[in-house]
Structure 1
Amino acid sequence: MAFSPSLQKGQLLRRYKRFLADVQVQDQTLTLHCPNTGKMTGCAEPGWPVYFSESNNRKRKYPHTWELVENEQGDFVCVNTQQANALVASALAEQRITPLSAYQDMKAEVRYGTEQSRIDFLLSACSLPDCYVEVKSVTLLAEEHSPGQGYFPDTKSERAQKHVRELMQCVRDGHRAVLLFCVLHTGITRVSPAAHIDPDYAALVEKAMALGVECLAWRATINPQGMQLIAPVPFSLAPDLVLS
């Protein structure tokens, strides 16, 4: 997935009100839309280079959208969580995600479950059970504790807990259910539930896996020219580190 038109570059001044960020671009300050509801820990330090897109929709109050940030280690992070579904959709359509490559038909944002949810992708194929795929973007890196260790979520999330419960019910109903962690941080090489942040979510994921919900983690190449989901990374319930 190429960025078209090309991204513009600036320097982060601050992120505020969750959905706004000010950046310095040459001799002017621009306010960007920040499409990320999380805490963005380790992804929003003042002074870091940021890359943003510009919309042609003149009705938008903030026509610029924050897409990427580059940290001090040179890692690129996609802070636009909406891109996770676009990357997964492209990879599914091209059958690049091997465990899911047998499915020919894909529908997005399908209503399901008893908690009024929408599944990110519903996959189907002849002679196979329907497959419900929930996508989560991973950007939280615990570099100071264990190099390459990524976590989801980066803040307590009742919505994420609800999605796990819905996937568990899909398995009980005879369907296939997949929790797909889309790694949008080039410094992350493995993924675990963030039990130190949201223990309820981590406990639910453990119960879900025991029931038959599959957890997959795939990483993306990320740079100012574009992104692509390319390869799996390890997923584990219990990372080998101690958090203080």
Structure 2
Amino acid sequence: MEFSKPLVKGKLIKRYKRFFTDIKIDNQIVTAHCPNTGSMYGLLDEGNEVYLLPNNDPKRKLKYGLEIIKTRKNLVGVNTHIANKITHHALKNNLIKELKGSDLIKPEVFFNKETRFDFLIEKNKQKSFLEVKNVTLFRDKKTAEFPDAVTERGSKHLLTLIDAIKKGFKAYLLFLVQIQNMEEFKIAKDIDINYYNNYLLAKKAGVNFLAYRCNISSKKIYIDKKLKIIDV
């Protein structure tokens, strides 16, 4: 997935009220939209290098959107809204080997009245649901983790994927690691033990868990490597 415009480099001052970040660009301070409502654990140190996407839409009050943060020598894609775009690009271009050659790729499909999964995929008349989780947390040099805060919604998705299997669908959950240089992935059970327990239930029930790392630059982000998932 390519960015629509060249990104602008700056330095992070602070993030506040979830949706706002103050950024220093040269000698000017601008307020940029933060397209990530999560905790962004470990990413928000003052002075971190950031990359912003400019916009010229007169209807939008903020003229920049935060896309990438550089922390501990790694670029991290923080825009949760583009996670599905990155995944859709990967599905169409067969970058996820477990889901290659799909006959149908349909985004945002309701499974029931309460839950909508990110993708419905069909291959050889077998229908599968795919849910995508954006991963931005790392606490050592090589291991990405999810979640970065307690997520009741995430647990609900796991239990609903189990229900989908019972109704004849295949079920996949993709941990989309938007962090450079990661080599493995694990569930952050110290952050949300309930999510970890539901992950184990879902795995036992037949949910297929995948972790793929992105190649990240100021020009584009795309899936490039499968990561080993560690159960600890």
AA at the equivalent of 1:121: F
**1:225 positional shift:** 1.8
Does residue 4 of structure 2 align to residue 4 of structure 1? yes
AA at the equivalent of 2:48: W
Report the equivalent of 1:76: 75
SS at match of 1:42: coil
AA at the equivalent of 2:157: H
Distance 1:175 1:17 in 2: 40
Any stretches of 5+ residues in structure 2 without a counterpart?
Answer: none
Report the equivalent of 2:202: 208
AA at the equivalent of 2:139: A
Does residue 27 of structure 2 align to residue 30 of structure 1? no
Report the equivalent of 2:134: 137
Report the equivalent of 1:62: 62
User: 1:82/1:196 Cα in 2 relative to 1: closer, same or farther (>3 Å)?
Assistant: same
Report the equivalent of 1:119: 117
Q: Contact 1:141/1:187 (CA < 8 Å) preserved in 2?
A: no
Distance 1:237 1:112 in 2: 28
The 5-angstrom pairing of residues 1-244 of structure 1 reads 1-71=1-71, 73-113=72-112, 116-127=114-125, 129-143=126-140, 147-238=141-232
Distance 2:95 2:49 in 1: 31
**1:102 positional shift:** 3.2
Q: Contact 1:113/1:169 (CA < 8 Å) preserved in 2?
A: no
Per-residue CA deviations over 1:115-151 (Å, capped at 9, x if unaligned) read: x111101001333x211000001111011xxx31211
Q: Contact 1:10/1:23 (CA < 8 Å) preserved in 2?
A: yes
Distance 1:165 1:57 in 2: 40
**1:4 positional shift:** 2.5
SS at match of 1:151: strand
Distance 1:119 1:201 in 2: 18
In percent, how many aligned pairs have the same letter? Answer: 34
**1:2 positional shift:** 2.1
**What TM-score do you get using the length of structure 1 for normalisation?**
0.92
Per-residue CA deviations over 1:175-204 (Å, capped at 9, x if unaligned) read: 100010000011422111111001010100
**1:61 positional shift:** 1.6
Distance 2:112 2:170 in 1: 14
**1:93 positional shift:** 0.7
Distance 1:38 1:86 in 2: 19
**1:74 positional shift:** 1.9
RMSD between aligned residues: 1.2
**1:63 positional shift:** 2.5
SS at match of 1:130: strand
Per-residue CA deviations over 1:60-109 (Å, capped at 9, x if unaligned) read: 121310000111x3210011111211111001011221101131211111
SS at match of 2:154: helix
Q: Contact 1:43/1:79 (CA < 8 Å) preserved in 2?
A: no
Distance 1:203 1:197 in 2: 12
Distance 1:213 1:235 in 2: 14
AA at the equivalent of 1:105: L
